[in-house]
C-alpha cells in the first residue's frame, strides 16, 4: 500500500441511503464463469479523474470485462449516479462485481443496533451497479489498539455481512500492510480479523502486494486459511530505491518483481477459494498507467486466466 493510496482512502467522502436487489441473472453468469479477471480502477486513478468514460472505453478496448471501483463519493461513482454508471458499464460490455468503500465506526448506530442510512445506501447502490462484494479497504487506527475494540468492530463486519445478504451481496475486507506488523495480545492483527469474521458473511480480498514490505507472505496466508479468499488483488512488488512512493516496496508489472505472483495466483485458485483476480498496479516505473494495466492483462492471458 502506498502513501498516496492511504491518503486517498482516509480522505474519501461518503454519502448514502436505500435498498435494491441484485439481479439473479448476474449471479448465474458468475457461477458459470471459472474465474474473473478485472482491474482495480485505482490503477488508472488520474485517467478516471480526468476522463472516466474515455478511460473505461480504453480498458474495454484492451479486453477487460470487469472493473472494481475505488471512488464512491456523494452517492456517485466517478461522478455518475448508480443507474447512470451501470448504463455506462453495460454499454461498454463491462461488469463491476466488487468495489471499495471504507466502512467506519460512524456507519454503525450502536444505540439503535442498526447501520446508518449512509451505509445502507452504500449497499443499495452497490447492488444497483451489479456488485457481488462490498469491500471495505481500511481499518481505522482506533480498532488497532486493543483486542476488545477489534473484536467489537469485527462483530460489526459480520452485521454488515447480514445487511449485504439481504440484497444478495456479501461484505468484504481488503488488507494492507499494518495487519502484518501489528500485534494485539501477541497475535497478528490479520489473524484476529480472520478468526473473528464469519466466512458465511464476510469474504476477504487478499492483496498479495500490500503485505510484502511488512513481512506478510501470501502463500503462507492462503495455506493457513484455505478457502477464505474469494477475491485477490493481483500485484507484484519491487524495491523502491528511487520509486514513486514513500514505501520500501512499490508495485510493478506482474511477474516482474519479487512476489512470485504467478504461483500465488495459482495457489489462490487451488486452495484459497479465489474466483475474482483483480489486477492493481499503483506505481509504473516510467510507463503510463494505461500501458501498464494493458501489459498486466496480457500476462494474465499468457498464464491462462483470461
Distance CA 298, CA 306 (A): 9
Distance CA 90, CA 185 (A): 48
How far is the CA of 136 from the CAs of 10, 31, 157, in angstroms?
12, 23, 9
Q: For residue 44, give the nearest of 295, 304, 302, 298 by alpha carbon.
A: 295
CATH of the domain at 131: 3.20.20.150
Distance CA 283, CA 241 (A): 13
pLDDT 10s per residue in the chain (306 long)?
Answer: 444 555 445 444 333 333 334 444 444 344 335 799 999 999 999 999 999 999 999 999 999 999 999 999 999 999 999 999 999 999 999 999 999 999 999 999 999 999 999 999 999 999 999 999 999 999 999 999 999 999 999 999 999 999 999 999 999 999 999 999 999 999 999 999 999 999 999 999 999 999 999 999 999 999 999 999 999 999 999 999 665 556 899 999 999 999 999 999 999 999 999 999 999 999 999 999 999 999 999 999 999 999
Give the structural domain span for 83. Answer: 3-302
Distance CA 157, CA 306 (A): 32
Cα maximum dimension of the chain: 53
Q: Please give the tally of structural domains in the chain.
A: 1
How far is the CA of 249 from the CAs of 33, 201, 212, 244, in angstroms?
34, 33, 8, 10
Q: What pTM value is reported for the model?
A: 0.89
Amino acid at each position: 500500500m502506498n502513501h498516496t493510496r492511504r491518503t486517498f482512502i482516509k480522505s474519501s467522502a461518503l454519502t448514502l441511503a436505500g435498498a435494491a436487489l441484485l439481479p439473479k441473472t448476474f449471479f448465474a453468469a458468475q457461477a458459470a464463469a471459472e474465474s474473473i479477471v478485472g482491474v482495480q480502477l485505482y490503477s488508472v486513478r488520474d485517467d478516471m479523474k480526468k476522463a472516466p468514460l474515455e478511460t473505461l472505453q480504453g480498458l474495454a478496448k484492451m479486453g477487460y470485462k470487469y472493473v472494481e471501483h475505488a471512488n464512491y463519493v456523494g452517492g456517485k461513482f466517478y461522478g455518475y449516479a448508480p443507474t447512470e454508471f451501470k448504463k455506462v458499464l453495460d454499454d461498454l460490455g463491462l461488469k463491476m462485481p466488487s468495489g471499495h468503500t471504507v466502512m467506519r465506526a460512524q456507519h454503525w448506530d450502536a444505540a439503535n443496533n442498526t447501520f446508518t442510512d449512509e451505509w445502507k445506501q452504500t449497499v443499495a447502490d452497490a447492488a444497483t451497479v451489479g456488485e457481488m462484494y462490498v469491500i471495505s479497504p481500511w481499518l481505522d487506527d482506533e480498532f488497532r489498539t486493543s483486542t476488545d475494540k477489534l473484536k467489537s468492530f469485527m462483530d460489526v463486519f459480520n452485521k454488515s455481512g447480514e445487511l449485504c445478504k439481504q440484497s444478495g451481496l456479501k461484505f468484504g475486507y481488503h488488507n494492507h500492510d499494518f495487519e502484518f506488523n501489528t500485534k494485539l495480545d501477541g497475535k497478528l492483527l490479520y489473524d484476529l480479523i480472520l478468526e473473528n469474521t464469519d466466512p458465511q458473511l464476510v469474504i476477504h480480498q487478499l492483496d498479495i502486494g500490500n503485505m510484502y514490505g511488512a513481512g506478510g507472505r501470501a502463500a503462507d496466508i492462503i495455506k493457513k486459511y484455505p478457502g477464505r479468499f474469494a477475491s485477490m488483488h493481483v500485484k507484484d512488488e519491487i524495491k523502491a530505491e528511487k520509486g514513486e512512493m514513500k514505501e520500501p516496496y512499490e508495485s510493478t508489472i506482474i511477474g516482474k518483481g519479487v512476489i512470485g505472483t504467478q504461483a500465488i495466483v495459482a495457489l489462490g485458485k487451488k486452495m484459497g477459494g479465489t474466483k475474482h483476480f483483480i489486477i492493481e498496479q499503483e506505481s509504473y516505473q516510467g510507463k503510463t498507467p494505461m500501458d501498464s494495466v494493458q501489459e498486466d492483462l496480457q500476462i494474465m492471458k499468457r498464464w491462462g486466466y483470461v
